[in-house]
């Protein structure tokens, strides 16, 4: 059972069963109700929009130019066969509010992933997306009464077109990069959240994304607006079956943190190693607002993701805390972008990456301070841990500071697990694998302590499984 | 000597090191060490820098970098050489490190509980009994409670690291404890506290301790049954506690001539 993209281990025997395997890698028979042929054309884009009965302005936004991105792992991107990807696939007729009404095979999938159970225990609301559409959606009644809107994006567009029109593409313009533009063209699903002024959503809301079909492209679109003085914690998890052919996940997430509000967005992606995960995440923080990205990249073949914050309002604060694990054949190209546009803004980037079995981890960061922004403080720390020869870690930090009053701190470290460290832990009765997992989990600790407890425990379990069978 | 000889002399043997030759990267470091310890005994090893003391400790514990070229290390009649360090730990071998390793992000409390669970068993690490044991051990070693949430040896002072090693000794209750320069870096009270801990853990029990040290002070507190002097990978002299005093006064030079 996995949940939130992270393996949930309920018993020892189950843990052992999963040794060295991707645990969420099973797939269900594909029973789609609507599916577009492979490949993308303006025709397909217009059909998707028509099918969703969208207003004309949305159809217009969808049809746009698509420049290729200019940073990241270009050669790996070239391998993507855009003609061989299914851009829209619908497996259920509607989004349900009761798990009982979700088609049985899909419900079983989410039960195996532990979602309904987690929902009962510790979440304020859940949305579950299967292929292109949300199949389940719910929010706690008390939050609904306080005016909190938590919908899948398609329903959001139908029910609150004015709010969506006002903010859609306001943070990530559709011409931003090829993948955000691709998303804007064919987007489907994702979450739409509006938190009214002064409302604090205490428990996290969760979205869970599952790709089941082969050669699938999932393009969810998420928009979160926190009104003045409000707060919300959004958590997402992702898994897919292990196929030998590639799938593409290309999401766009836009956050709007109005004055004095606080948005925390946590992700644990554990895509199978045939998924290209190319995601554009960006938020705008107004005066005294705070945006935090907590970003865990464990799965996928190639991830390119640089959660960004535009510090637009005075006194706003940004934090990007990320971990990346790159195993065999994986490249995690992740980092952060922060733009200090206003005075007295502060930012903190903490990046931790582990590479093993020839995996490759890259930190790519960009922090800018504009000439008008006085007294900004920025802090960047990137640590890499390399577990064996032949694994690789690179750091590309960029800082463009155009205001001399800025206080910048930057630290980077690359370390290896030493024999002496392993020997110390082994001398206390821990096997080599357990010892390595302790070191790795310790390395990730500054990240895990930011996660809700349930996630932290599961992330540790997941890393312990990744370390099994890894000692040569 | 065989097991039969041991019985005949009326002494049971807890640890026996037999003609131990150890090398690393082709260099021979230990060149034939013999040592025997019975239950309840405390022995000391002294010797110059680089004479092979830590290597001996590492090889007893099972450090993977060293090659045992000849000889054997036997605990309670069973050779340890084929066992990995963690298996030896579970058989009751403990090493207090000369240079304890830091593990950032691994919380002390969590680590201690896991270690007790893997060495003494899951049941011993559970609930209030363990917590009480831990609290009283920490108190006796003057380790503040706040250390529970710190990371293992991360930013610990030299003396704090040594106290933390002894805390682990007290909680893991080994059959054989090897203390590699645990007294170096400890203040005077610390040496007394640690000595009391060692005496309590060994005297009158069926466990044994091997104390590696450069100073006679700790030996005044624990009164070892035997003192061995290591020189260039060999034990060149063995005797009672008076040998330690002699070394402190005269150094090691005279041993070379003998
Ligand atoms: N990993 C290693 N690689 C190479 N040489 C080593 C290694 N470990 C120990 N040695 C060498 O073996 C010899 C014995 O070292 P050892 O650490 O056992 O000395 P020691 O008696 O503990 O000294 P000290 O009193 O300084 O702690 C030294 O010459 C040392 O340089
Ligand atoms: Mg030494």
Residue having the nearest C-alpha atom to atom 12 of ligand 1: B29
Structure tokens at A463: 């890393």
Indicate whether A347 belongs to any domain.
yes
For residue A70, what pLDDT is reported? Answer: 55
Q: Enumerate long-range contacts of A40-49, CB under 8 Å, 24 or more apart.
A: A40/A82, A40/A83, A40/A85, A40/A87, A40/A182, A40/A185, A40/A186, A44/A87, A44/A88, A44/A186, A45/A185, A45/A186, A48/A87, A48/A88, A48/A186, A48/A188
CA B146 to centroid of ligand 2, rounded, Å: 30
The more confidently predicted of residues A101 and A308 is A308
Contacts of A431 (CB under 8 A, 6+ apart): B84, B86
Which of the four pLDDT bands, split at 50, 70 and 90, describes residue A34?
confident
CATH of domain B15-257: 3.40.50.300
Residue with tokens 């037999």: B18
The count of domains in chain A is: 1
User: How high is the pLDDT of residue A380?
Assistant: 96
Q: Strand, coil or helix: what is A30? A: coil
Instruction: Provide the pLDDT for residue A126.
Output: 87
Q: Is-contact A275 A79, C-beta < 8 A?
A: no
B138 close to B167: Cβ distance less than 8 angstroms = yes
Predicted local confidence at residue A135, as pLDDT: 82
Phi/psi at B140 (5° precision): -65, -25
Q: Give me the domain span that covers residue A408.
A: 24-417
- The rounded Å distance from CA B100 to ligand 2 centre is 12
| pLDDT value of residue A209 | 87
For chain A, the average pLDDT equals 86
CA distance A447 to A445: 5
pLDDT at res. A65: 58
Do residues A35 and A90 make contact, with C-beta atoms less than 8 angstroms apart? Answer: yes
Average pLDDT over residues B119-145: 90
Q: What is the mean pLDDT of residues B148-153?
A: 96
> Quick check: A139 pLDDT over 80?
yes
The gap between the terminal CA atoms of chain B, to the nearest Å, is: 26
Ligand 1 and B24: CB distance under 6 A: yes
Q: Is B24 on the interface with A (CB under 8 A)?
A: no
- pLDDT at position A118 is 81
In three-state secondary structure terms, A271 is coil
Check pLDDT > 60 for residue A71. no
Does B185 or A319 have the greater pLDDT score? A319
State how far the Cα of A9 lies from the Cα of A7, in Å rounded to an integer.
6
Residue nearest to atom 6 of ligand 1 (CA): B24
pLDDT for residue A12 is more than 60? no
A438 near B111, Cβ under 8 Å?
yes
Q: Are A275 and A302 in contact (CB under 8 A)?
A: no
Of B87, B214, B104, B91, the C-alpha closest to B151 is: B104
Torsions phi, psi for B162 (to 5 deg):
-65, -40
Q: Give tens-digit pLDDT for B218-250.
A: 999 999 999 999 999 999 999 998 898 888 888
Tell me what percent of the residues of chain A surpass a pLDDT of 70.
92
As a whole number of Å, the end-to-end CA separation of chain A is 28
Rounded distance between C-alpha atoms, residue B226 and residue B205, angstroms = 17
Helix (H, G, I), strand (E, B) or coil at A461: helix
CA–CA gap between residue A96 and residue A279 (Å, rounded) = 27
User: Exposed, middle or buried: residue A13 (CB in 10 Å: 0-12, 13-18, 19+)?
Assistant: exposed
Q: Tell whether A418 lies on the interface with B, counting CB pairs under 8 A.
A: yes
User: How close is the Cα of A182 to the center of ligand 1, in Å?
Assistant: 61
CB contact under 8 A, B86 and A438: no
Residue B82: which residues within 8 A CB-CB, separation 6 or more?
A: none
pLDDT in tens, A100-137: 888 888 888 888 878 888 888 778 888 888 888 888 88
- Asked if ipTM goes beyond 0.85, one says yes
Average pLDDT over residues A410-431: 94
- Measured between beta carbons, the chain A residues lying within 8 angstroms of B86 are 426-432, 434-435
What sign for the dihedral angle of Cα A259, A261, A263, A264?
Answer: positive
Q: Is the pLDDT of residue A197 over 90?
A: yes
Please report the pLDDT score of residue A469 as a whole number: 54
Whether A25 has a pLDDT exceeding 50, the answer reads: yes
Helix (H, G, I), strand (E, B) or coil at A403: coil
Mean pLDDT over each residue of chain B, to the nearest integer: 91
- Give the chain A residue nearest B86 (alpha carbons): A429
Cβ of A445 and B105 within 8 Å?
A: yes
Nearest Cα residue to A45 out of A88, A107, A9: A88
* Least confident among A72-81, A108-117, A157-166, B136-145: A72-81
Six token digits for residue A208: 């869970």
How far, in Å, CA of A153 to CA of B171, rounded? 56
Among the listed residues A142, A162, A148, the one whose alpha carbon sits nearest the alpha carbon of residue A191 = A148
Answer whether residue B124 shows pLDDT above 70: yes
B47 CA closest ligand 1 atom index: 21
No. of helices (H) and no. of strands (E), chain B: 10, 12
pLDDT score of A175:
73
Q: What pLDDT was estimated at residue B133?
A: 92
Q: Is the pLDDT of residue B131 over 70?
A: yes
Chain A residues with beta carbon closer than 8 angstroms to that of B85 = 423, 426-427
Nearest CA to ligand 1 atom 19: B50
C-alpha Rg value of chain A to the nearest Å: 21
C-alpha to C-alpha distance for A471 and B162, rounded to whole angstroms = 30
pLDDT at B151 over 90: yes
Ligand with an atom nearest the CA of residue B50: 1
Instruction: State the pLDDT at residue B258.
Output: 62
pLDDT at A21 over 80: no
pLDDT digits (tens, 9 = 90+) for B185-215: 899 999 999 899 889 888 888 999 999 999 9
Residue B252: per-residue pLDDT: 85
Listed ranges A34-38, A272-276, B20-24, B252-256; the one with the highest mean pLDDT: B20-24
* Interchain CB distance below 8 Å, B103 and A418: no
- Span A250-290, pLDDT tens digits: 999 999 999 999 999 999 888 888 899 999 999 999 999 99
Domain locations along chain B: 15-257
Please state the rounded mean pLDDT for residues B97-110: 95
pLDDT for A66 equals 56
Residue A384, in any domain of the structure = yes
- Residue contact B115–A428, C-beta within 8 A: yes
Q: Is residue A102 part of a domain?
A: yes
User: Could you tell me the sign of the dihedral formed by the alpha carbons of A170, A173, A174, A180, in that order?
Assistant: negative
Q: Does B106 touch chain A (CB under 8 A)?
A: yes
pTM, two decimals, is 0.83
């Amino acid at each position: 059972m996995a949940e939130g993209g992270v393996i949930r281990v309920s018993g020892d025997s189950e843990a052992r069963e999963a040794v060295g395997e991707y645990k969420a890698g099973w797939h269900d028979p594909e029973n789609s109700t609507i599916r577009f042929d492979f490949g993308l054309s303006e025709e397909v884009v217009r059909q998707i929009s028509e099918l969703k009965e969208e207003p004309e302005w949305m159809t217009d936004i969808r049809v746009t130019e698509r420049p290729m991105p200019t940073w990241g792992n270009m050669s790996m991107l070239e391998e993507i066969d855009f003609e061989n990807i299914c851009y829209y696939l619908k497996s259920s007729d509607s989004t349900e509010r009761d798990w009982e009404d979700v088609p049985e095979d899909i419900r079983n999938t989410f039960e195996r992933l532990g979602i309904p159970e987690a929902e009962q225990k510790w979440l304020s609301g859940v949305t579950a997306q299967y292929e292109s559409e949300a199949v389940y959606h719910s929010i706690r009644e008390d939050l609904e009464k306080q005016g909190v809107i938590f919908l899948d994006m398609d329903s959001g567009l139908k029910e609150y077109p004015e709010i969506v029109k006002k903010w859609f593409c306001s943070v990530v313009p559709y011409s931003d990069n090829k993948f955000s533009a691709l998303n804007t063209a064919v987007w489907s699903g994702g979450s739409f959240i509006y938190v009214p002024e002064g409302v604090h959503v205490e428990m996290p809301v969760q979205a869970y994304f599952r790709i089941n079909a082969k050669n699938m492209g999932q393009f969810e679109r998420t928009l979160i607006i926190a009104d003045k003085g409000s707060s919300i914690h959004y958590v997402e998890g992702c898994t897919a079956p292990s196929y030998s052919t590639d799938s593409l996940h290309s999401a766009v997430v836009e956050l709007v943190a109005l004055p004095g509000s606080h948005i925390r967005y946590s992700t644990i992606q554990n895509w199978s190693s045939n998924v290209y995960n190319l995601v554009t995440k960006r938020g705008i923080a107004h005066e005294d607002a705070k945006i935090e990205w907590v970003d865990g990249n464990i799965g996928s073949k190639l991830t390119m993701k640089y959660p960004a914050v535009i510090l637009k309002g005075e006194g706003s604060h940004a934090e990007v805390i990320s971990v990346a694990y790159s195993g065999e054949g994986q490249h995690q190209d992740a980092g952060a972008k922060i733009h200090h546009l206003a005075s007295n803004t502060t930012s903190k980037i903490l990046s931790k990456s582990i590479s093993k079995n020839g995996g490759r981890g890259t930190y790519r960061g960009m922090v800018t301070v504009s000439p008008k922004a006085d007294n900004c403080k920025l802090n960047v720390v990137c640590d890499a841990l390399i577990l064996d020869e032949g694994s690789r870690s690179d750091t590309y930090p960029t800082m463009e500071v155009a205001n001399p009053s800025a206080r910048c701190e930057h630290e980077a470290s690359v370390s290896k697990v030493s024999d002496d460290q392993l020997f110390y832990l082994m001398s206390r009765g821990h096997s080599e694998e357990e010892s390595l997992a302790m070191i790795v989990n310790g390395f990730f600790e500054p990240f895990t302590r930011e996660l809700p407890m349930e996630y932290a425990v599961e992330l540790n379990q997941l890393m312990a499984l990744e370390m099994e069978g890894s000692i040569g | 000597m065989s097991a039969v000889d041991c019985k005949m002399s009326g002494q049971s043997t807890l640890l026996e090191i037999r003609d131990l030759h150890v090398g690393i990267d082709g260099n021979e470091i230990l060149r034939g060490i013999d040592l025997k310890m019975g239950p309840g005994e405390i022995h000391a090893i002294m010797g110059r820098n680089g004479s092979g003391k830590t290597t001996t400790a590492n090889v007893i514990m099972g450090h993977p970098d060293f090659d045992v070229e000849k000889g054997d290390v036997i605990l309670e009649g069973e050779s340890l050489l084929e066992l990995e360090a963690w298996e030896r730990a579970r058989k009751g071998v403990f090493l207090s490190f000369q240079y304890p390793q830091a593990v950032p992000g691994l919380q002390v409390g969590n680590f201690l509980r896991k270690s007790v669970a893997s060495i003494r068993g899951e049941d011993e690490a559970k609930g209030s009994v363990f917590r009480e044991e831990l609290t009283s051990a920490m108190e006796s070693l003057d380790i503040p409670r706040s250390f529970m949430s710190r990371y293992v040896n991360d930013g610990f002072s030299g003396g704090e690291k040594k106290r933390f090693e002894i805390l682990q000794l007290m909680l893991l209750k080994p059959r054989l404890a090897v203390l590699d320069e645990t007294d170096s870096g400890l203040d005077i009270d610390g040496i007394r506290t640690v000595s009391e801990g060692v005496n309590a853990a060994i005297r009158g029990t069926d466990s044994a301790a091997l104390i590696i040290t450069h100073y006679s002070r700790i030996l005044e507190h624990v009164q070892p049954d035997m003192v061995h002097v290591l020189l260039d990978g060999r034990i060149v002299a063995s005797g009672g506690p008076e040998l330690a005093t002699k070394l402190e006064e005269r150094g090691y030079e005279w041993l070379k001539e003998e």
